[in-house]
A and B are shown apart, each in its own frame.
Chain A
Amino acid sequence: MPHVLTRDFGELAYEPCAEWFFPRGLPGFEDQNRFVLIERDGLAPIVFLQSLKTPALCFLAVSVWAADPAYQVGMTRDDLDALELNGQPQPGDGALCLAILSGSGEAFTANLLAPVVVNLKTRTAVQAVRADSIYSHRHPLRLEASPCS
């Protein structure tokens, strides 16, 4: 199994299917194309998007539906094409939609304006910035059970 040096957990082995390719990087991090999804026992629903290129770069994220159970994905035509998706992702189909978290401790916000969407079949990902203004880039996160100490 390949290994990745992580920001928060030292060196970890990971399943190759957890590695995602961002052809355009992420806004602000255009040169970061490869990330590994890391899930840790007891920390769900929070997951980690660890850069393969830069060990110090790691994002916290949750499923958009953990942040807002009624969330409606609204990807642009360009982003849908980039992931070869035929329609907007729904919970439980072949795409994963993650909202990147900001903040710390118990006051996280989730970026619902620009979810990271991954086609799990091709493991290609984009940060799909919405063209509408329905959702906030700083949506207060309220999780059922706090994973924090």
Chain B
Amino acid sequence: MLVISRRPGESLWIGEDIEVELLEISPSQVKLGIRAPREVPVLRGEIRVTADQNRAASQARLTLAD
């Protein structure tokens, strides 16, 4: 994993058109601002995990006794 240190107000770019800015730091949270084209999905990590888990869960079945 690439690790970059940033201070509030500083940003970094991913490719030509995605900018991530560090807005604010508090003891337990950082606030990020993301500028990206509309078609680029931006998801909280846990929502991405849940989407993957839901797709796996849709295959789950109970072994039913007939």
Taken together as a complex, chains A and B put the C-alpha atoms of A102 and B44 apart, in Å, by 21
A70 contacts the other chain (Cβ, under 8 Å)?
A: no
Count of interface residues, chain A, beta-carbon cutoff 8 Å: 31
In contact, A149 and B58 (Cβ under 8 angstroms): no
Tell yes or no: B1 within 8 A of A by CB. Answer: no
> Shortest beta-carbon distance, A23 to chain B, in Å?
16
Could you tell me the dominant secondary structure of chain A's interface residues? loop
B24-64 CB contacts (< 8 Å) to partner A: 44, 46-64
Residues of B within 8 A of A101 (CB): 57, 60
B65 at the interface (CB under 8 A from A): yes
Tell me how far the C-beta of A102 lies from the nearest C-beta in chain B, rounded to whole angstroms. 4
Q: Whole-angstrom distance from the CB of A113 to the nearest CB of chain B?
A: 6
Q: CB within 8 Å of B: which residues of A?
A: 8, 26-29, 43, 46, 57-60, 100-105, 108, 111, 113-114, 127, 129-131, 133, 137-138, 147-149
Q: List 25 A-B contacts (CB under 8 A).
A: A8-B61, A8-B64, A26-B54, A27-B47, A27-B48, A27-B51, A27-B54, A29-B58, A60-B61, A60-B62, A100-B57, A102-B53, A102-B56, A102-B57, A104-B62, A105-B63, A111-B53, A114-B50, A114-B53, A129-B46, A137-B49, A137-B53, A148-B62, A148-B65, A149-B64
